[in-house]
Structure 1
Amino acid sequence: METQVMVVEEGSGPRRISVFDTTLRDGEQAPGNAMRPDQKLALALAIEALGVNVIETGFPSSSPSDFEATRLISQALTTAEFATLNRAVRDDIRLAAEAGGVENHHMQIMATGSDIHLEHKRGISRADGVKEIVDSFRYARSLGFTKITLGIEDASRGSAELLRPLIDASLEEGATTVALADTTGWMVPSEFGDLVARVRDWVPSSVNVSTHCHDDLGLSLANALAGIEAGADEVQATLAGIGERAGNTPLEELAAVFVYKGQELGITCDLKTEGLYEAFRLLCGSIGLVPPRNKAIFGDNAFATQAGIHQAGMLRHPITYEQIEPHVFGRERAILVGRHSGRNVVRYVCEQVGVQAEEGLLTDVYERYVANRTNGECVSMAELGQIILEMVKREGDDRADAALEARV
């Protein structure tokens, strides 16, 4: 089956996609990412400020900490709704209701979506899987839940013969969302798009289809986008893509696609991107996460360069190499000086600090402070400017005094 691409008709406007943040559940449950309830509350409020529609608080039945985090977050949120993850077990559903109540609460109930999990994890039959979904959905409705998600674990390895009865049973019992999980990060975009398109055909337009993609093949964002093109209404994502194993769809990268490609894809969302980096810093402080150099949007080098060819262009106009703009995500541009930098940046820095860029000076600064830097060592343009001023002053150049006075 070919992926069905959603085409926006002229004049109909972009399709609004809901953003579901699972940083505090899937992200937090990965090794090394555990947080205290107060830390999760602070992060939830930072994520809410980004315009996220739904924030998953945790798995209340898994620990007293997740129960308490759900209680705190459910009481503190003012614009976002919240979700919990629960097994298809009445006790899980009851505890989630006790922790957060039912108002604005997206009750996610896990279904077993593959024969692999039925046999090796659960030890139950397909019929048993359907039966527990029917019972748990009825129980959730009896408690007053009106937003109930069928969260299909390992849906990407499930056959249509297994998935369709689970989905049909949940629809009969009031499911408002069907969430498809590529739990092992196994699918490529064409495959995941086909899965979403198939399920989109099975469910009425009043029922949302959500994506939950893992990054084991490095395709979580690509798969989520394929899901959107195939008709998904919601994407589950995490800050910095943290989550089980290689992680989940990164919230910040998803946001970047909406900002820069949303119009041509015919999609929009409610995200406010300027606070993303501050939320990421809060996450790093909470779990001891060290930013990698090369990660999109959040990486230390995402908006930094030391290559002379790149710098020559960027000093004339940043658009030459910077299509993604740092300020959109709360970042700043960094032009760093290292052994791969050229004379152009030295000339530029001289001009910035008010020192005439004579050829002899350029050569001296370049050879002494740029060309021979080792081990990836870099300095900022401000630091190089200070070096130039001090060097010129040591050599008795009156221009340095004037330049230094101008900077004071």
Structure 2
Amino acid sequence: MGSNDEQGSRRISIFDTTLRDGEQAPGNAMSAHTKLELALAIEALGVDVIEVGFPNSSPSDFAALQMVSQALTTARFCSLTRANRADIEAAVAGGGTERHQVEILVTGSELHMEHKRGITREQNLAETRDAIRFARSLGLRDISLGVEDASRGSDDLLHALVDTGLAEGATTVLLADTTGHMVPSEFGEMIAKVRSWIPDEIVLATHCHDDMGLSLANALAGIEAGADEVQATVAGIGERAGNTPLEELAAVLTYKGHRFGAHTTLETSRLYEVFQLLSDRIGMAPPRNKPIFGDNVFSTLAGIHQAGMLRNPITYEYVEPERFGRERRILVGRHSGRAVLRHVFDELGMPWDPELGQKFYEEHIAGQADGEYISTTELARVLSSTLLATADS
């Protein structure tokens, strides 16, 4: 389980799956060299485990595992495999056994057994047993039982899979809400149930999808119910609607961790530079309003907000931009008021001139077209030019 420090709260282990689940989504493909570059940047954040990919799926994923396994120095690395010997052999061939977690994906619901796999419960348990036993025979000791679609499986099946996995030597149990169909109360109940089944030394991990916008809320419910580790991705990229966003998880645990009795030791100030690197490499433009990484998250245009923020940013800013490698921006458009203009006068060391201020406000602020805005730096430049022109005349 997560270690207890920071006034008794549990340190939550962070498992980053940007390079695996994140890369699986259309448009997010990464070369082996790109995965290496991103893995090193993600490691610098202080994450515990980095999932590199599915080495038996393609030569590129195999090469990425070879490169990343040799380059990481602090984080462990993880390979995804199915519950079969060929996948596990490929993982060991690519990454060896030291500091290498193998996540063996098993079928966690009757729905998947019938409609996806076409196997019986007995076959499911048998392949789970054989896969983990085989992994241990190859020298692997860090083995995650990855229960796919656990959130739609029966308690009876889930309990049998967990018991089988632990009996064979699994060290982590990962419960996946693969289709993102649970609400936090449901997901928390499932985590609490499994936590009661397994020894304290077994890591219990969450993997939540965002199909109904609840991946973060579900992961937090999991932490509250006893989960030790959260699988997340930078900017929440991943299959369909994506996964638990790493940066949002970090923000909640930074500001509200005491409510969950949990904390993280991530280097949050470096998150944005990792996002910028990821965005550049996969050609992803940030949305305007995404928490932490959105273009407008630490920007304000409305005069009512600006009047307060210019006195003290805390009036309208709870999340601090500098904690996440961002900067505060006061933008000026037709929704801005005179307070920002007074601020620019002060910044220039100029006394407030009501007549000039009103004229400048009408021409350069109120007169802007819909959607237009400028920065306070640009506004100061225009104001300086106007004052110089007035003095010369």
Sort the TM-score into its range (normalised by shorter chain). over 0.9
Q: What does residue 29 of structure 2 align with?
A: 34
Structure 2 residue 92 is matched with structure 1 residue 97 = yes
The CA deviation at 1:265 is 2.4
Alpha-carbon distance change, 376 to 51 in structure 1, aligned in 2, over 3 angstroms: same
Q: Answer whether contact 1:296 1:302 (CA < 8 A) is retained.
A: yes
Amino acid at match of 2:129: V
Residue 153 (structure 2) pairs with residue 153 (structure 1): no
Amino acid in structure 1 at the alignment position of 2:364: Y
**Contact 2:5–2:11 (Cα < 8 Å) also in 1:** no
CA shift digits 1:72-111 (9 cap, x unpaired): 0000000000111110010000000000001101110001
Deviation larger for 383-392 or 243-252: 383-392
Q: Does 1:244 align with 2:220?
A: no
Cα displacement string for residues 15-50 of structure 1 (whole angstroms, at most 9, x for unaligned residues) = 111000000000011100001111110100000000
Deviation for aligned residue 1:11: 9.8
Paired residue secondary structure (2:391): coil
Report the Cα offset of residue 191 of structure 1.
Answer: 0.3
Tell me what 1:351 maps to. Answer: 346
Q: Give 1:353 deviation, angstroms.
A: 1.5
Q: Output the CA distance in 2 between the equivalents of 1:181 and 1:375.
A: 45
- Distance in 2 (CA, whole Å) between partners of 1:175 and 1:365 is 69
The Cα of 1:116 is off from its aligned counterpart by 1.4
Q: Which moved more, 1:363-372 or 1:246-255?
A: 363-372
Equivalent in 201, 208, 213 of residue 213 of structure 1: 208
Counterpart pick for 1:110 among 105, 113, 117: 105
Q: Quote the offset at 1:263 in angstroms.
A: 2.7
* One-letter identity of the residue aligned with 1:277: Y
* Farther off after superposition, 359-368 or 184-193: 359-368
Supply the distance in 2 between the matched residues of 1:172 and 1:258 (Cα, whole angstroms): 33
- Contact 2:287 2:294 (C-alpha < 8 Å) held by counterparts: yes
CA distance 1:374–1:54, change in 2 (3 Å): same
State the Cα deviation string for residues 37-64 of structure 1 (Å, max 9, x = none): 1111010000000000000000101111
After TM superposition, which residue ranges in structure 1, 4 or more long, deviate above 4 angstroms?
8-12
Quick one: distance in 2 between partners of 1:23 and 1:65?
A: 16
In the alignment, does 2:363 pair up with 1:365? no
Q: Do the aligned partners of 1:53 and 1:270 also contact (CA within 8 Å) in 2?
A: no
Secondary structure of 1:211's counterpart equals strand
State yes or no: 1:193 paired with 2:188. yes
Q: Which amino acid aligns with 2:194?
A: V
Alignment partners' CA distance in 2, 1:375 and 1:365: 18
Q: CA deviation at 1:355?
A: 2.9
Describe the shift of the 1:85–1:382 C-alpha distance in structure 2 as closer, same or farther (beyond 3 A).
same
- Pairwise CA RMSD: 1.6
Q: 1:235 to 1:9 in 2, by over 3 A?
A: closer
1:64 aligns with 2:59: yes
The amino acid across from 1:268 in the alignment is H
One-letter amino acid matched to 2:215: S
The runs of 5 or more residues in structure 1 that have no matched partner are 1-5, 399-408
The structural deviation recorded for 1:9 is 10
- After TM superposition, give the deviation of residue 258 of structure 1 in Å: 1.6
Contact kept, 8 Å, 1:292 with 1:299, in 2: the verdict is: yes
Determine if the alignment matches structure 1 residue 287 to structure 2 residue 271: no
Match of 2:220 in 1: 225
Please give the secondary structure, in 2, of the residue aligned with 1:246. Answer: coil
The amino acid across from 1:128 in the alignment is Q
Distance 1:102 1:50 in 2: 24
What is the match of residue 139 of structure 1?
A: 134
Residue 13 of structure 1: which of 1, 4, 8 is its match?
8
Q: TM-score, normalised by structure 1?
A: 0.94
Q: How many Å separate the matches in 1 of 2:285 and 2:262?
A: 32
Q: Distance in 2 between matches of 1:374 and 1:199?
A: 57
Cα shift at 1:395: 2.5
TM (norm. structure 2) is: 0.97
Moved more, 362-371 or 60-69: 362-371
Q: Distance in 1 between matches of 2:245 and 2:116?
A: 28
Partner of 1:374: 369
Partner amino acid, structure 2, of 1:273: T
Determine if contact 1:134/1:173 at 8 Å carries over to the other structure.
yes
- Give ranges in structure 2 of 5+ residues lacking alignment: none
Residues in 1 aligned to 2:275 and 2:97: alpha-carbon distance in whole angstroms:
30
Distance 2:15 2:5 in 1: 28
Is contact 2:104-2:143 (8 Å) kept? yes
1:401 aligned residue: none
Is 1:126–2:124 an aligned residue pair?
A: no
The answer to whether structure 1 residue 45 and structure 2 residue 40 are counterparts is: yes
